Structure 1
Amino acid sequence: MTTWLLSLAASPRWEPQISVLCEAGQTYHPQFLSEEGRWTTDLSIKVPGTTCLRDKMDLLDYCKKC
């Protein structure tokens, strides 16, 4: 199992963050931290056979989209 959390430095204002939990043989759903401060599951990229985001550049690109 691999867990990734990408966030920017602590700040008094909202900062984008994502979380990805990768379990072998499981469909994954990345999550992002909403402006309300709640982790929200992103169901928009649920594609059969999609692999877990592991590459740092892929994670950064996904974070920019959130």
Structure 2
Amino acid sequence: MSAPIVVHGMSRTGGRRVTINGEIAGLAHDDRDLVEFLRRAGLGDAWDLLDDPHWIEWRGGRAHRYEAA
């Protein structure tokens, strides 16, 4: 089973696409953006989930990095 939240690889212009249960939540430019997407999805303790691999899968780059390649 994969994590319900995926932070995809960095875009050429910076930021990373975020999907929640396969639906695009938006383009995060930092952890604050990611937490806001999770909050909007009903996950109130979002800061606690950022490093939990059961919840979030970081693809195509290091976790918590959002700058352009």
Class of the TM-score when normalised by the shorter of the 2 chains: 0.3 to 0.5
Higher relative contact order (CA 8 A, sep 6+): 2
Using the size of structure 2 for normalisation, the TM-score is: 0.32
Larger gyration radius, structure 1 or structure 2 = 1
Using the size of structure 1 for normalisation, the TM-score is: 0.33
